[in-house]
Amino acid sequence: LKQIQGKKPEEINNQMPPSKLLIEAAPSYDKVQDGIHILSQIGLDFLCQECLHFRNWIKRMVEKLGG
């Protein structure tokens, strides 16, 4: 854990999707149910601040929807 402490999610492992890493660490992880719960706890702003790829994906979706 010390090796990854303080790193952005994309810096930890860019070869495997984050959900696969979570399932590997916690086999009972449910991407939809747990993802909704986690997001409700940390907030979308924090997630966008910490995850550049996610922030850019959200930005592209908003632009495509005319926002």
Predicted confidence (pLDDT) per residue in 28-51, tens digit: 999 899 989 989 999 999 999 988
Structural domains in the chain (count):
1
Among residues 47, 43, 42, 53, the alpha carbon closest in space to that of 14 is found at 53
Is residue 48 one of the residues assigned to a domain? Answer: yes
Q: Name the DSSP class of 55.
A: H
Contacts of 53 (CB under 8 A, 6+ apart): 10
pLDDT at position 48, please? 92
Is residue 4 one of the residues assigned to a domain? Answer: no
Is residue 2 one of the residues assigned to a domain? Answer: no
Query: pTM of the predicted model, to two decimals?
Result: 0.58
Domain around 44:
9-64
Q: How confident is the model at residue 5 (pLDDT cuts 50, 70, 90)?
A: low
Q: Across all residues in the chain, what is the average pLDDT?
A: 84
Is residue 3 one of the residues assigned to a domain? Answer: no
Cβ density class 29-48: b for 16+ within 10 Å, e for less? beeeeeeeeeeeeeeeeeee
